[in-house]
Each structure stands twice: as structure tokens, then as C-alpha cells.
Amino acid sequence: ILEWTQLSSSLPKYGGATFTRWGRKSCPKTSKLIYNGQMANSDFRANGGGSNYLCLPSDPEYDSYAPDNVPHSVLTRVWYETQENLNAFPNPTFQHLAPCAVCESDQRVTKVMIPAAVRCPNSDWVLEYKGYVMSMVDTHANAKTVVTEDYYKTSYICVDQAAESLTSQPGDWSGSPIYLARAQCTGAGALGSCPPYKSGKALSCVVCTK
């Protein structure tokens, strides 16, 4: 056993799985920071652009090519569109800009984001963080309430339950808002597993590695 311990300690330390911690500027204690920055996506009124969220570094680097007056894709800021009376997050987030951090786990090579969960599957997995599933708002589901414009589809991401902000005050932003996601349990398109799913509950999520 002693020989194996000495041998293993002399082996190189390989990296592990990477993941993005949406809504936070730092990584969990179980992982190390690769870089941090701000969340970005296409403007919610755009017909083109990407549908996935990006974590843009705080210190961008550029190569020499600088196109001008040619067709291009545009990245815009992301902000939380979370009503404060929902009490989903302990820190002020409503209409604040959203940060992000890209993290590397310590020699754990597999990662998974599990929606509708508050814990990892078993003790083999390490909980990196937990939070809430968020994405662009669904115009059909909210047609009679807050939504009056057309929005595009985006990725579903797991935003940390202790989400932080890049701004000290809320703002009237343009860009890409993110909203809490929940299951649909009534009408056309209802999930076939209601209950246990509930239409009035925000979906939790966890990010786990092993």
C-alpha cells in the first residue's frame, strides 16, 4: 500500500471535466477557475444569431482580422428577468446583468446537468452546484401575461441558486433576458408525468461531476 501511495503521488495530475457555473463569478470549492466573465447571447428580437449561451471572458483577446460592413452575428448582454417576489434567489437579481465562470473539476472526467433535481444521483458524484433551470421566455405560455413580443429559442441552463450580478442596480436593458423554467401540466403539450411534476414550481437543477 505504501509503495502504491508513493507511486500514485508521483504521477502527473490530469485535469477533469469542465463546466460553466452560470450566474456566478467564481467556481465551487470542488473545482478551479479557468476564466470568468459575462453571459452573452443574441438579442431577443433577432431572427438570426446563436441559440446557446456563451461565457465571454473579462479580458478578451483579438487576432488581426477586423471585418467592417460585412454580414455578421451579434452577441449581446444577458440579464435576469426574475420578479423579486418569487424569492428564487437570495441576492438581488431582477434586471441585473448575469456573470459566469468556466470551471475545471479535479480529475473528475464526467459531468452532467440534471434538471428537476436538488442532489446528485449517488455518493459517486460530486455536487458542483445547484440552482434553477432558466432560458428565454415562452411567448405562447405567457401570451396573456407579460410577453408582448416574439422571442427566439435558447438553451436551457442551470443558473446557480446563489446567483450574483455584474451590476449594482437594475437597468432597462436590451439584449437577452433569462427566465425561470417550469413544467407544463395542463392543456396541449402537457407532460405525461404530472404529478409528480407541478406547473407552478420553478424547476431546480444540479451540476455534478465524477
The 10s digit of each residue's pLDDT in 171-189 is 767 788 898 998 888 777 7
C-alpha cell at 110: 464526467
Listed in sequence order, the residues at least 6 apart from 139 whose beta carbon sits closer than 8 Å to its beta carbon are 147, 149, 150, 151
pLDDT value of residue 143 = 47
Please check the confidence at residue 197 and state whether its pLDDT lies above 60: yes
pTM of this prediction?
A: 0.83
pLDDT value of residue 120 = 97
Task: Count the neighbouring beta carbons within 10 Å of the beta carbon of residue 22.
Answer: 26
Do 78 and 177 meet the contact criterion of CB atoms below 8 Å apart? yes
